[in-house]
Structure 1
Amino acid sequence: MSYSVARPIHDAVKRQMEAETLGYNDPISIDLARESVVRWMKQEYDWSIASNSVGFVSDIVTGFGAILTHFLPPVADIVVPTPAYGPLLTVPALFGHRVQEVPSLSSSAFHRMDFEGIERALANGARLVVLCNPHNPTGRVFTAEELGRLAQLVDHYGARVFSDEIHAPLVTASVTHIPYAKVSAAAASHTITASSASKGWNISGLKCAQLIFSSPADAERWQHVADFFIKSVSRLGVSAIPAAYDHPESHDWLASVRTQLARNNALVAETVARRLPEIGYSPAEATYLAWLDCRAYGLREPARFFRERVGLAMSDGGEFSAPGHLRLNFALPEDVLRKALTALVRGAELLRSSRPLEETVTHHA
C-alpha cells in the first residue's frame, strides 16, 4: 500500500535500531510476538488458538514451501483454484509436486469455488487444497457455508488445506472474515493457516509471518523444524507484531486505512460501471485489489498494453493463470488513484478507436 506505517510500528522498529539490537531473535521476543498473535485471533475473530500452535516463517511463500516439504507425501498433487496468486501456482513444482488447477466459477456478482472440480481433483489423488481467503486477486471473502462445504470435501478424501489468510485484516464493513480452521473440528484437524500483519499494516518487508497449526499433531511435528525457519525471521518484524496486534493506535490506523480503501474501492467500481462497461468487475470484499476482466479487448497481454500506451502499471492476469484479466492495486492516495483510473479509461478509449495516443507519465497501480 502507498501509505505510511502506523506510528507504534515505526517506533518499535526505531527502538531496535537505536538499541542496535540487530542480531538474531531471542526467545523472549518470540514468545511476546506469539502471545500477541494469540490475542489478536481471539479479539478479532473469536478464534481460540494455543500459543504452541504458532510458528514463525519469514513470509507466506516460505511457509507454503515448508508445508509442501514437511507435511505432504512426496510428489503429491496440489489443488489450486484459479485465478491464484502466482507463487501458489509455481512453488509446488520446486518441491516436486504437481498442481491441478481448478478454474473458479464467476458471475456478475462474484467468483466462487468450483466444488465439483475440487472434488474431482481430490478423487484423482490430490492431497492438498490451497485456499486463499480473503482471495487474491479477486477480493472475495468466502462464507461460512462455502468454507464448510470445502471442509466436508477435504475431510472425506483425507486431504489437507493450506489456508492463506494474510489479507484478513482488510475486509470491508459488509462482510466478516471467518478463519477456515474455525469452521469445524474437521477443518481444524486438516488445516495449516498462514497469517501475517504484512498486508493489514503494510509491513511485508519486515519478514515475519506466522503458521498456525490447529492440529496438535501438526504443531508437534512443526517443532522438529521450527528452529530452521525461525532463523530467517527478521528481528525487526518480530518487534512489529505486538506493535500491530496489541496497540490501540495501530488498530485506529487500520480502521482509517480500511475507510480509505472502501472509498477507493467505490471509486473504482463507479468508474468501471460508468466509463468501462466492457470490463467485467465485482467490487472487492477485502484486500486492496481490483480484479478486472478485460477479455472483451482481445489482448494477449493487456497489462503490457496499458503500461506501454498510457503509462499505467498493473499485474497481468496471465500471472494468475487467468489471461485477459488485470489486477489493479487501489491502495493509493485518492488523487493518484484518480489519475490511474483516468489512464485506464484513456487506454480503453484507444482500444475502441484504435488511434495513436500521446505519451503520458506512468502511474503505478
Structure 2
Amino acid sequence: MSIFDEVHDRKNTRSMKWDMIHDVFQSTEVLPMWVADMDFRAPQEVNDALIKRAEHGIYGYTAIDQDVKGSVINWISRRHDWQINAEWLSFSPGVVNSLHMAVQAFTEPGDKVLIQSPVYTPFYRVIKAHNREVVINSLVREKDYYQIDFEDFEEKLKSGVKAFILCSPHNPVGRVWKKEELQEMARLCLKYGVVILSDEIHADLVFPGEKHIPIASLSDEIADQSLTFMAPSKTFNLAGLEVSYIITPNNEKRNKFKAQMTEQGYHPNGLNTMANTALEAAYTHGEPWLEELITVLNSHKNYVTEMLEAHTTLKVIRSEGTYLVWIDCSSLGLDSKELKEFMIHEAKVGLNAGIDYGEEGALFMRMNIACPRATLEEGVNRIIQAVNSQ
C-alpha cells in the first residue's frame, strides 16, 4: 500500500481542517475537504530531521545559513530552471504575510491593485486591509478551461493600477500559465509600470505534461519588476510550520521590501527553528516523495472528474496543477447560499464555497483532493448520492 493511501486520524490534533469543522460548517457530520493542507504525512526525511532537532532540546534563536539558502537555490534550479542568487532571498512565515507587506511597500492608500477573479480569497483582504482599491480582470471560461482576457487586462492596467497580484499556478481554477500568457502579462505590466507580485506557492504541484514557469525567470527586465513568493508548505504539507520565502532580484525593490518587513517586526533572514529545519530537509530529500505525490494527485483529479461527470450533472474544470478541484454546480439550480447549505447538509461534505473567490465563482465549489483514496471516494460518493436525491 502506498504511503498516500494510509488514513491518518487528524482529529484532536488541533487541526484546522478536522477539528474546526463545527465552527466552519455548523455541523460535525461533514467530511472535510476544504482548507488547503493535505491529509498525508510529510516526507520521512523531514520528520526525521525535525525529531533529531527536537532531541537536541534547545530552541534558541536560529539563523538561515548558506546551507538552507543553497537548498532553495538548488530546488528552484532543478524544478523550475531558474538560476537565482542567495542575496535575492528573504524569508517570512507565509506568503499571505508577505503579500500584505508587499502591498504596503509598493503602493499607497487609494492605489489600485489588480487580481484575476475567481481567485484565492486572501487576495481581496490583502488589498482592502490597507485601503487599496481592488481592480478585477475576470478570467474567461471556455467550456472546461479558463483564459485571460488580455484586452480587459490592459484596459484595467491603463486605469492607473500600481501592482498586480498574480496567482501562478492559479487557485482555484487550476491553470498553469503558458509561457506566452506569462510573457504577455509581463509585457503589459512593464508597459504601464506595474509591479508584479507573483504568488507561486503551488509551483511544484503541476500535473504531467505541464510546466510551471516563474514569471520573473522570463527575462532580467521582468525580474526587475517582480517579487516572487514561494514556499515548501503546500508541496510538502508544512503549512503549520510557517515557512516561505521571497525572491526579489532587483536591489532597490528588495531593500524596500525588507524595510517594510522590519517595520512590521519581521526579520528578513529569520524563520522559526522547526521551519528552518523542515525547509532544508524537504528541498534536499523530498523530491522522490513529491514525484509519487503528483502521480497520486493526478489519479485523484481524474477520478473526481470521471465520477462526477458520469453520475451527475456537475462539471469539473480541467486542472493543470494544485490539489484543488473547481466544480461547476450551476446545473443544480441553487444560488450560492443554497449551494453551500446543500453541500453541508445534504452531501455532508465540507468544501470551500466558490462565492468566496469572487462573484465569478458563485455557483462553484472548491474541493481539496489531497487525501487518501478512501477519503476521496467517500466524499465523491456523498456528493453523487446527494445530487441524485435532489
TM-score (norm 2): 0.85
SS of structure 1 residue aligned to 2:340: helix
- 1:246 maps to what in 2? 284
Q: Which moved more, 1:266-275 or 1:228-237?
A: 228-237
- 2:8 maps to what in 1? none
Distance in 2 (CA, whole Å) between partners of 1:21 and 1:79 is 45
Q: Structure 1 residue 315: deviation in Å?
A: 0.3
**Mapped pair 1:279 → 2:314:** yes
- 1:120 maps to what in 2? 155
Distance in 2 (CA, whole Å) between partners of 1:226 and 1:36 is 23
CA contact (8 A) 1:55 1:226 kept: no
CA contact (8 A) 2:106 2:163 kept: no
SS of structure 2 residue aligned to 1:170: coil
**Mapped pair 1:337 → 2:337:** no
Q: Structure 1 residue 30: deviation in Å?
A: 4.2
Distance in 2 (CA, whole Å) between partners of 1:203 and 1:119 is 37
Q: Which moved more, 1:298-307 or 1:308-317?
A: 298-307
Decide whether aligned partners of structure 1 residues 34 and 74 sit closer, same or farther in structure 2, where only a CA change above 3 A counts: farther
- 2:271 maps to what in 1? 233
- 1:297 maps to what in 2? 332
SS of structure 2 residue aligned to 1:194: strand
Candidates 242, 248, 268, aligned match of 2:304: 268
**Mapped pair 1:129 → 2:154:** no
Q: Structure 1 residue 234: deviation in Å?
A: 2.2
SS of structure 2 residue aligned to 1:127: strand
- 2:188 maps to what in 1? 153
Question: 4+ runs of 1 displaced by more than 4 Å?
Answer: none
Candidates 47, 53, 57, aligned match of 1:20: 57
SS of structure 1 residue aligned to 2:384: helix
Mapping of residues 60-79 of structure 1, within 5 Å: 60-79=95-114
The total of aligned residue pairs comes to 346
Decide whether aligned partners of structure 1 residues 207 and 30 sit closer, same or farther in structure 2, where only a CA change above 3 A counts: farther
- Output one character per residue of 1:293-344: Cα deviation in whole Å (capped at 9) or x when no partner: 1122232222321111121110000110121110001111111111111011
SS of structure 2 residue aligned to 1:38: helix
CA contact (8 A) 2:317 2:328 kept: no
Counterpart residue type for residue 338 of structure 1: E
SS of structure 2 residue aligned to 1:52: helix
Q: Structure 1 residue 93: deviation in Å?
A: 1.1
Distance in 2 (CA, whole Å) between partners of 1:175 and 1:61 is 26
**Mapped pair 1:317 → 2:354:** yes
Q: Which moved more, 1:117-126 or 1:222-231?
A: 222-231
State the superposition RMSD in angstroms. 1.6
**Mapped pair 1:326 → 2:365:** yes
Counterpart residue type for residue 204 of structure 2: P
- Output one character per residue of 1:261-300: Cα deviation in whole Å (capped at 9) or x when no partner: 1110110111122112x32322311111110111222322
CA contact (8 A) 1:289 1:329 kept: yes
- Output one character per residue of 1:192-237: Cα deviation in whole Å (capped at 9) or x when no partner: 1000000010100110101110223222333434553238732211
Distance in 2 (CA, whole Å) between partners of 1:291 and 1:213 is 31
Counterpart residue type for residue 43 of structure 1: R
Distance in 2 (CA, whole Å) between partners of 1:37 and 1:258 is 20
Structure 2 residues not aligned, in runs of 5+: 1-37
CA contact (8 A) 1:65 1:91 kept: yes
TM-score (norm 1): 0.91
- 1:358 maps to what in 2? none
Counterpart residue type for residue 244 of structure 1: A
- 2:387 maps to what in 1? 348
Mapping of residues 27-176 of structure 1, within 5 Å: 29-176=64-211
Q: Which moved more, 1:215-224 or 1:227-236?
A: 227-236
Distance in 1 (CA, whole Å) between partners of 2:109 and 2:83 is 32
Distance in 2 (CA, whole Å) between partners of 1:75 and 1:35 is 39
CA contact (8 A) 2:101 2:261 kept: no
Candidates 253, 263, 267, aligned match of 1:218: 253
Q: Which moved more, 1:101-110 or 1:326-335?
A: 101-110
Counterpart residue type for residue 320 of structure 1: Y
CA contact (8 A) 1:164 1:194 kept: yes
- Output one character per residue of 1:145-191: Cα deviation in whole Å (capped at 9) or x when no partner: 00001011101101111111111111111100101111223321211
Counterpart residue type for residue 345 of structure 1: I
Decide whether aligned partners of structure 1 residues 324 and 236 sit closer, same or farther in structure 2, where only a CA change above 3 A counts: same
Candidates 292, 295, 303, aligned match of 1:259: 295
Percent of paired sites with the same residue: 26
Q: Structure 1 residue 73: deviation in Å?
A: 3.1
Distance in 2 (CA, whole Å) between partners of 1:127 and 1:222 is 15
